[in-house]
Amino acid sequence: MRSARLVADLKRLHRCIDDDRLQGDEREAFDDMARKLAKYSRPLTELQSQWVTRVMHRLELDVDEPTGPEFASGKIPAGAPVGVPDVLKVLPKRPPGRRPGVA
């Protein structure tokens, strides 16, 4: 079974590959990454993922991707704000200092 990250990486790569504005060495590199992802079932490295993100941003393909949890995208309304409980208001503002005589 493929992990969610692997599926997301493949989807992002194919969105870039399918765009006609991606050309030359970048297209070849993205094709190679997509083939290796499908073959070895390993997600992109951090640097590869950052590269794909930069290219998607440059090609403006990242516009309709969700940017966070469901409530951040407006699909679920936020609840009423909750105040700080009285129990938490009396906590010390900083940790205690060192005790004298303890090294």
Residue 54 belongs to some domain of the structure: yes
* Predicted pLDDT of residue 43: 86
**Enclosing H/E stretch for 27:** helix 24-40
Domain contains 14: yes
- Residue 3's pLDDT band, with cuts at 50, 70 and 90, is confident
Domain residues for the domain of 23 are 4-58
Residue 23 covered by a domain: yes
Establish if 10 belongs to a structural domain: yes
Of the candidates 94, 86, 100, 12, the one whose C-alpha atom is nearest the C-alpha of residue 48 is: 12
If phi > 0 it is left, if psi is from -120 to 50 it is alpha, else beta; for residue 77 that is beta
Separation between Cα atoms, residue 65 and residue 11, nearest integer Å: 11
Note if the pTM is more than 0.75. no
The pLDDT tens digits of the residues spanning 21-54 come to 888 999 999 999 999 998 988 889 999 999 999 9
The reply to whether 67 falls in a domain is no
**CA-CA distance, 21 to 36, in Å (whole number)?**
22
Residue 26: inside a domain, yes or no? yes
| Pair 56, 8: CB distance under 8 Å | no
Query: Which residue in the block uniquely carries the two structure tokens 């290219």?
Result: 55
Identify the residue whose tokens are 């516009």.
Answer: 63
CA angle 58, 3, 26 (to 5 degrees): 30
* Residue scoring higher pLDDT (103 or 97): 97
pLDDT in tens, 59-90: 888 766 555 566 556 666 667 788 888 887 88
What's the number of domains the chain is made of? 1
Q: Within a domain: residue 31?
A: yes
